[in-house]
Structure 1
Amino acid sequence: MQPVALEDRIREIARQEGVDFFGIADLAVAKEELARQGGPGMAKYPRAISLGIRLFDEIVDQLPDRKSRAVAVSYRTHCYDVINLRLDEVASKIAGEVQRAGHRAYPVPASARTDDERICAVFSHKLAAHLAGLGWIGKSCLLVTPEAGPRVRFVTVLTDALLPAGEPMEVQCGNCTECVDACPVQAFTGRNFREDEPREARYDARKCEAYFKAMEKESGPAVCGMCLYACPHGLKT
């Protein structure tokens, strides 16, 4: 199957499965970072298919009351567990279609930590979405879309199919520091994303980790998401 015809087919699968954001990334510019995070196995693919599902605003808007068990359970269920499952299922279906077309396909789990030292997964879905032109990486290290801000979860299918790729979007945070100011543990430095800087220049993941563990010990189900909630690009006016 030719790349353009294959793209049309997988776009249609994504639409049928309720995907809100679809893009294709050229990974050539990120080869070094991909190898650093996931090893040569993750860096060998020239393309990434990026798929996103929008979170439910009615649940995200309750996050200021996140210490309420009802809010925490709702968020963990419908803005995390269920959406991750939906993303993994559609990624599997699209990877199957790509493989049947004669190409290699590697569906990366939507949310699965593989490195406890760096507190990260084997591949950055946010980076793929950024390179696909779906948004930019904000000061919170979240992928910010023009349509929904950071209120989106993503999954990725890596492939050697040379599908037509999008263009990365310029950072549009400007002088805004809403996400930085909203963080209860000051985990962000407030620096804009730069491809030549490691995540640690902008974000201390260990502060978030400690905060979550303390909340779990105190009240059970733990959620935060204040950086996601506060972003003006996602807030309804």
Structure 2
Amino acid sequence: MKCESVLRNVIETECEDYFLGTVDLSQVDNAMVEKYGSLIAEYPRAISIGITLPYLIPDELSMAKKQPYDVTNCQLKSITSSLSSLLEENGYRALSMPKAREMDDGPDISFHEVVAHLADMGKIEKNLLVAPEVGSKVNWGTVLTNAPI
């Protein structure tokens, strides 16, 4: 399986403007990752997928105007599920971890943003992952796997 091109083909069936990165979590020293120690032992690598939110979204989204997040959450669920199925069809174990439907209310950074940061897709600033091209206007999903990516 030519991993990156196959992953990109799956993602591009759902969206055009996305980020894709991989990371070996077993080699990472990070408090958030360490909280998931037994899960990481079983699935030591991660695929991080980010979908760029539409550019016309105001900077301050209220909970009543979260429709763009709902749309990208649905896309992430479909993508992460498809990628997990594809990996499993090729003999690997995979766990789809799309972003939860509800937006986080807390000040802490999410597991998805930590994984994306570890995959070099942005840097963490003020408990947000900031991608160089679009800032924080990205919704992230993660697939954990034992595949050699």
TM-score over 0.5 for the alignment?
Answer: yes
2:77 maps to a residue whose letter is D
C-alpha separation in 2, matches of 1:119 and 1:104? 32
**Aligned counterpart, 1:159:** 145
C-alpha separation in 2, matches of 1:109 and 1:13? 15
1:160-199 per-position Cα deviation (integer Å, ceiling 9, x unaligned): 1111xxxxxxxxxxxxxxxxxxxxxxxxxxxxxxxxxxxx
**Aligned counterpart, 2:64:** 73
Q: 3-state DSSP class of the match of 1:23?
A: strand
Deviation at 1:157, TM superposition (A): 0.2
Deviation at 1:72, TM superposition (A): 4.6
> Relative to 1, partners in 2 of residues 1:133 and 1:97: Cα closer, same or farther, differing over 3 Å?
same
Contact 2:123/2:131 (8 A) holds in 1 = yes
Q: Which residue among 81, 85, 89 is the counterpart of 2:74? A: 85
1:190-216 per-position Cα deviation (integer Å, ceiling 9, x unaligned): xxxxxxxxxxxxxxxxxxxxxxxxxxx
Match runs of 1:86-235 below 5 Å: 86-111=75-100, 124-138=111-125, 140-163=126-149
Q: Which residue among 50, 53, 74 is the counterpart of 1:52? A: 50
1:13-70 per-position Cα deviation (integer Å, ceiling 9, x unaligned): 112221511111121214764232x351244322110001111221234x2xx5xxxx
C-alpha separation in 1, matches of 2:130 and 2:22? 17
> Relative to 1, partners in 2 of residues 1:59 and 1:119: Cα closer, same or farther, differing over 3 Å?
closer
> Relative to 1, partners in 2 of residues 1:131 and 1:150: Cα closer, same or farther, differing over 3 Å?
same
Instruction: Name which one, 1 or 2, has greater alpha-carbon Rg.
Output: 1
C-alpha separation in 2, matches of 1:107 and 1:120? 21
Contact 2:116/2:140 (8 A) holds in 1 = yes
Unaligned runs of 5+ in 2: none
Kindly report the root-mean-square deviation, in angstroms, between the aligned alpha carbons of the 2 structures.
2.5
User: How many corresponding residue pairs?
Assistant: 144
C-alpha separation in 1, matches of 2:98 and 2:9? 21
C-alpha separation in 1, matches of 2:30 and 2:91? 23
| Greater helix fraction, Structure 1 or Structure 2 | 1
| Greater strand fraction, Structure 1 or Structure 2 | 2
Unaligned runs of 5+ in 1: 164-237
**TM-score when normalising by structure 2:** 0.83
Deviation at 1:111, TM superposition (A): 1.9
Contact 1:98/1:104 (8 A) holds in 2 = yes
